[in-house]
Structure 1
């Protein structure tokens, strides 16, 4: 049976690609719903982006709007990397869908309570919605199989020297989630920067079907910021959280105790791992550290080809 999941996101170029990767594998992943949270851009913009992606591939999956701001303070967005819309690049048609009336927390709660199987949460955004859910309804933690998230980094950050964007935006929420007792798989910068797509591969996508071309156009824009920062290749951060669910054998990992720094002047938002073997502090997180990049990119290309064919334009046809 396919794994039932809820994707919590802030599209965002790499969030959009993560959604598409999941949609291409209905036999393995059953997307019960998508929730949105302020992050890469303000809430209304990223919610509209999620609906546009679903509309583009004719996927009528319910979308619920969540928190517009972090638990404390004001929202910091990723506009520098993702543009004014939050997903600049391709000219996508207006969405055919609208978000549901429920808020994200109530929406997730209803799905989790109604499911016969435990639900896996896949957050590729600040963890505000997830923290609000498990704080308001702690009993649902027993109904959550695991959390496969994109966020953090043990070796370095990307917003500051020590903090990755998703965790930095709402470190208080992230700390609640990491200390919740729910099993966590962490796709942080340690692995996602290794899951890079290179320029020639992006251009190859643009010779294929409509979904592949659209993703190529997303990556054309998304790579601009990376080039400014001196990166060779464009890291596909959020798709790692989906790819691990599909093919965990592609990844190298280590089980560690991880928590989040919320007070340090230089380290706020840092994911801090403890490699000591402490009986009173068992590992709470499977931290992904390496990836078979070539197999990961093949998975992406094959998945987009599936979606191309569903839209009636097999790979290689104009």
Structure 2
């Protein structure tokens, strides 16, 4: 089969970086048409820079990177330097990128690509807040019917929140954008905290990255060494959850994951629960299903895939 055409929308972020590396290491399954940066984990000036740093680390400087929206649709930007460090990629020491940032705005690139490619041939892989995607849908509503699938990391159902008691970070940063995307009618697959918290980089798994003895392997190990300090303290876990690579791994080997097709609504009216993903996991309402919510993964199979692919770079 031909590789699946994707656009990666991202706010790197160490786990975003690993997801980008996984995608760029998998040309048999994935063709990366471009990477669109959005403000999220850190401001846009850093997310677009970090995306280019990661492309150069992968040895793929020909990858096109576009800067997108620098703030949410209706709210001030909330960032996560407390998790990712002041650069967003704290941990390894990586050189500034020399590859250019594309002149076009990320939203224009998304719209024009979906219009130009055959209908149903482009998947949007969303690793951060949904601002760029919602803005593209506002600008060109007809593109919703041209999207093959939106696969995103965000939300939760049993785990509930990681930035507030009720909300996961990516959805909380721009809940109005998330609400519009979930209502757009395109097929949606969601990697919530409930599954990503099972993708833990334990000591032996991080040792396997380091044992690749490559710049990519060492950089990923150093990213997760830094990243895990926050999660170990907060959750008492055995390592850092690799949230965003679950999106890319699902495209490569969907049998790693399992979930349910359910209704998901986004809370936008309450300060107490703003950004909550109200996921009807038990199907107790009559609201129509609009997303496949993933609930479990084979962690060993996930890390075997990730380590093998990182070893290619």
User: Residue 312 of structure 1 corresponds to which residue in structure 2?
Assistant: none
Query: Residues 103-127 of structure 1: CA distance to partner in whole angstroms, max 9, x if unpaired?
Result: 1110111211221352100000000
CA distance in 2 between partners of 1:235 and 1:86 (Å): 16
Helix, strand or coil at the partner of 1:26: coil
CA drift at 1:273: 1.6
Helix, strand or coil at the partner of 2:21: helix
CA drift at 1:167: 0.3
What is the Cα-based RMSD across aligned positions, in Å?
1.2
CA distance in 1 between partners of 2:167 and 2:225 (Å): 26
Residue 158 (str. 1) matches residue 167 (str. 2) = no
CA distance in 1 between partners of 2:272 and 2:197 (Å): 22
User: Residue 62 of structure 1 corresponds to which residue in structure 2?
Assistant: 64
Q: 1:217 aligns with which of 209, 219, 222?
A: 222
Residue 303 (str. 1) matches residue 313 (str. 2) = no
Note if contact 2:84-2:90 (Cα within 8 Å) is conserved in structure 1.
yes
Query: Residues 171-214 of structure 1: CA distance to partner in whole angstroms, max 9, x if unpaired?
Result: 00000001111110000001000111102221332232221111
CA distance in 1 between partners of 2:272 and 2:296 (Å): 27
User: Residue 276 of structure 1 corresponds to which residue in structure 2?
Assistant: 283
Q: 2:207 aligns with which of 182, 185, 203?
A: 203
CA distance in 2 between partners of 1:84 and 1:14 (Å): 15
Query: Residues 238-274 of structure 1: CA distance to partner in whole angstroms, max 9, x if unpaired?
Result: 0011111111101110110101001223211100022
CA distance in 2 between partners of 1:204 and 1:276 (Å): 40
Q: 1:237 aligns with which of 230, 234, 243?
A: 243
Q: Which runs of 5+ in 2 are unaligned?
A: none
CA distance in 2 between partners of 1:278 and 1:218 (Å): 42
TM (norm. structure 1) is 0.94
Q: Which runs of 5+ in 1 are unaligned?
A: 308-318
Residue 171 (str. 1) matches residue 172 (str. 2) = no
Helix, strand or coil at the partner of 2:93: coil
Q: How many residues align?
A: 306
Give the alignment of 1:183-194 within 5 angstroms: 183-194=187-198
User: Residue 29 of structure 1 corresponds to which residue in structure 2?
Assistant: 30
CA drift at 1:135: 1.2
User: Residue 142 of structure 2 corresponds to which residue in structure 1?
Assistant: 139
Note if contact 2:6-2:30 (Cα within 8 Å) is conserved in structure 1.
yes
TM (norm. structure 2) is 0.95
CA distance in 2 between partners of 1:232 and 1:172 (Å): 34
CA distance in 1 between partners of 2:253 and 2:207 (Å): 25
Helix, strand or coil at the partner of 2:149: strand
Give the alignment of 1:224-263 within 5 angstroms: 224-229=229-234, 230-263=236-269
CA drift at 1:57: 1.9
CA distance in 1 between partners of 2:208 and 2:261 (Å): 36
CA drift at 1:224: 1.3
Helix, strand or coil at the partner of 2:136: helix
User: Residue 97 of structure 1 corresponds to which residue in structure 2?
Assistant: 99
CA distance in 2 between partners of 1:106 and 1:205 (Å): 37
